[in-house]
């Protein structure tokens, strides 16, 4: 059996905002377009997560909503600026075989690098820009068996490619 992870960094957020905190920052216009494009790409590829695990930040919530995924989401404070160790702990608790995890850098990028056996041949994998999405498959029966450097990359995409920018 296999488990598949869609590891997505939130779309581009606004910096010049009156949000009361970093946690409350919304997406900007480009981020909203990017999130929609990511959702459309997943749908066109027939890639549908069974479960979404997301940071509780406003920008990750908005990314999830604009992706228009049918999967139920759990928004948790644990994934807000989480370290790779915390991301791994949260993923180990997942109950479904195909999970989309939405989070933030630098933890998300570090987690992606830690989990794949061979990184994708993509110039943006190193810095994992906003909206970047890694599809990775693990030869495990459930997420509790997850181990570092065991994932096989299926794809890696950034929104600029989807939007033709």
Task: Spell out the domain ranges in the chain.
Answer: 3-163
84 φ, ψ (degrees, to nearest 5): -55, -35
Q: What pLDDT, in 10s, does the model give residues 89-119?
A: 999 999 999 999 999 999 999 999 999 999 9
Mean pLDDT of all residues in 135-146 = 98
DSSP for 95-117, please give it.
Answer: -SSEEEEEE-TTHHHHHHHHHBS
**Residue 9: per-residue pLDDT:** 98
> Residue 154: which H helix or E strand, with range?
strand 152-157
Provide the angle, in degrees to the nearest 10, between the axes of the packed helices 58-67 and 29-44: 40
87 φ, ψ (degrees, to nearest 5): -60, -45
Domain 3-163: CATH architecture, name and number where available: 3-Layer(aba) Sandwich (3.40)
- pLDDT > 80? residue 145: yes
pLDDT band at 121 (very low <50, low <70, confident <90, very high): very high
- pLDDT > 90? residue 16: no
> Residue 137: which H helix or E strand, with range?
strand 133-138
Q: What percentage of residues in the chain have a pLDDT greater than 70?
A: 100
**Residue 18: per-residue pLDDT:** 84
- pLDDT > 80? residue 165: no
**Strands 133-138 and 152-157, how do they pair?**
antiparallel
Distances 99 to 47, 80, 82, 160 between C-alpha atoms, Å: 11, 17, 17, 23
Q: Tell whether the torsion through CA atoms of 59, 103, 7 and 93 is positive or negative.
A: negative
29 burial level (CB within 10 Å; 0-12, 13-18, 19+): exposed
């Amino acid at each position: 059996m296999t488990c598949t992870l869609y590891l997505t960094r939130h779309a581009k957020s606004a910096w010049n905002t009156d949000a009361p905190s970093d946690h409350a920052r919304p997406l900007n216009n480009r981020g909203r377009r990017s999130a929609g494009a990511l959702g459309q790409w997943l749908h066109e590829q027939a890639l549908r997560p069974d479960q979404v695990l997301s940071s509780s930040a406003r920008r990750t919530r908005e990314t999830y909503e604009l992706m228009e995924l049918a999967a139920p989401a759990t928004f948790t404070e644990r994934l807000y600026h989480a370290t790779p160790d915390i991301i791994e702990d949260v993923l180990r608790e997942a109950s479904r075989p195909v999970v989309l995890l939405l989070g933030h850098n630098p933890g998300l990028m570090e987690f992606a690098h830690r989990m794949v056996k061979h990184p994708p041949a993509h110039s943006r994998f190193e810095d994992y820009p906003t909206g970047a999405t890694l599809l990775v498959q693990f030869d495990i029966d459930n997420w509790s068996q997850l181990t570092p450097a065991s994932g096989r990359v299926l794809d890696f995409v950034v929104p600029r490619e989807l939007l033709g920018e």
